[in-house]
Amino acid sequence: MFGKKIDILTQDACLFYNNQAVYENFGGIVLAAEEGEEIAACLGPKNKTCILQNHGLLTLGDTVDEAVYLFGALDRMCQAQLAVEAACANGLTKKTIGEEEAAFTAATIAYPENVWANFQAEFGLLVQERGHIFLK
C-alpha cells in the first residue's frame, strides 16, 4: 500500500536486491491486455518480483517452484517491513544491508537453481500434508 519496494533488511531480503518493481497504476480488476503489457514493462527485463500497489504481489520464475518460493519470501519480507516500519515509528532506527553485501548475497541466493532448491523442502511438506492436491 506504500507504493515502495521493500528495504533490504535481512539475508532473505537480499533475494529482492535489484529484483523488484512497484506497479503503481492500480486500475481495478485487470480486463485489458494493455494492463498486462504495462505490468510487464514495469517488471523490465530482469525483475522477477513486483508489488502491485493496492492489489498484491506478483512473482515470476524459471520454474513454478521458483515463482512460488519467491512469492512466499516476498510476502514474509513485506510482513517484516511492516513490523520494522512500526518499530521505527516508536523511535527505533532501521538498519539496512549495505549495497556491496546485498549484491554479493543476492548473487548467491537469487540464482534460479538455488531458489528452486530452497522450495523443495516446503513442497515436500505440502505433498505430505495435502498430497491428493499436489500429485494430480
CA distances for 76 relative to 10, 35, 67, 80, angstroms: 11, 26, 14, 6
pLDDT at position 135: 66
What is the number of structural domains in the chain? 1
Predicted TM-score (pTM) of this structure: 0.87
Say if 6 falls within a structural domain.
no
Say if 1 falls within a structural domain.
no
CA distances for 11 relative to 21, 94, 97, 102, 124, angstroms: 19, 15, 8, 8, 24
Say if 38 falls within a structural domain.
yes
pLDDT at position 58: 95
Domain range for 35: 12-134
**In terms of Cα–Cα distance, which of 67, 87, 64 is closest to 75?**
67
Say if 125 falls within a structural domain.
yes
Say if 40 falls within a structural domain.
yes
Mean of all residue pLDDT scores within the chain = 90
pLDDT at position 127: 83
Per-residue pLDDT reduced to its tens digit, 40-97: 999 999 999 999 998 899 999 999 999 999 999 999 999 999 999 999 999 999 999 9
The domain spanning residue 55 has which CATH number?
3.40.225.10
Say if 4 falls within a structural domain.
no
Say if 73 falls within a structural domain.
yes
Mean pLDDT of 121-129: 85
**H/E element holding 57?**
strand 56-59
Say if 77 falls within a structural domain.
yes
Give the integer Cα–Cα distance in Å for 28 and 22. 16
